[in-house]
Structure 1
């Protein structure tokens, strides 16, 4: 019985780590990646995105596993709606071997001035 609880506890710790611990060595860019030569990947839901630019590749996190072959092998700048979606998306992309060089959280309080959180 104690082994069962130990396995459950380890599974919960690993799940929490993947969701809530920020990914290291991927910086947050407040103003987007205007100066970078990178593919912009928007992993927000289709309903929450308001950009219809052809320069931005929109693949929601829920569809990344199915459509990751459409992402180019260039440098990638990720746009996410919150930290949870960002952490899961970055871990998936890095696991698949993509070069994620930066990220941006839409409607982030750090864009409005003041403090910047989650930069590692």
Structure 2
């Protein structure tokens, strides 16, 4: 019984850290210009950031954030992420390391595009 409680608690904590929104951080529609006090941090994967680069930002994917956090020079950052999951994970990691997050920007649309389910849609007819 105790083992079941431990497993359920650890699953709930993992889900909370990934999917529950982070409070106190504001979303901006567009990435702000780089300033002296705020550093732009791109937490998207390398292949996504290569196709759509953010000027004057440091590209440090979420998977490498813990071990390469020393590359950040400022104490305030603006996070650029492609999904809510990347945003939540990176902001929690940064806050744990004592870095203030000034805001975030999501680069991809969060709702899937509407598809025409008519006849011949998948064949382009």
Distance in 1 between residues matched to 2:54 and 2:106, nearest whole Å: 17
Other-structure match for 2:106: 105
Q: Is the 8 A contact 1:77 1:103 kept in 2?
A: yes
Matched with 1:9 is 8
C-alpha distance in 2, partners of 1:61/1:6?
29
Looking at structure 2, the residues matched to 108 and 78 of structure 1 have their Cα atoms a distance apart, in angstroms, of 16
Please tell me whether Structure 1 or Structure 2 has the larger radius of gyration of its CA atoms.
2
Q: Which runs of 5+ in 2 are unaligned?
A: 112-125
Cα contact 2:17–2:88 (8 A) shared by 1: yes
Query: What's the TM-score, normalizing by structure 1?
Result: 0.83
User: Are the aligned partners of 1:82 and 1:105 in contact in 2 as well (CA < 8 Å)?
Assistant: yes
Q: Which of 44-53 and 14-23 deviates more? A: 44-53
- Contact 1:42–1:80 (CA under 8 A) maintained in structure 2: yes
In structure 1, the gaps of 5 or more residues are 111-120
The two structures have a TM-score, normalised by structure 2, of: 0.80
Contact 1:73 1:99 in 2 (8 A): no
1:86 match = 87
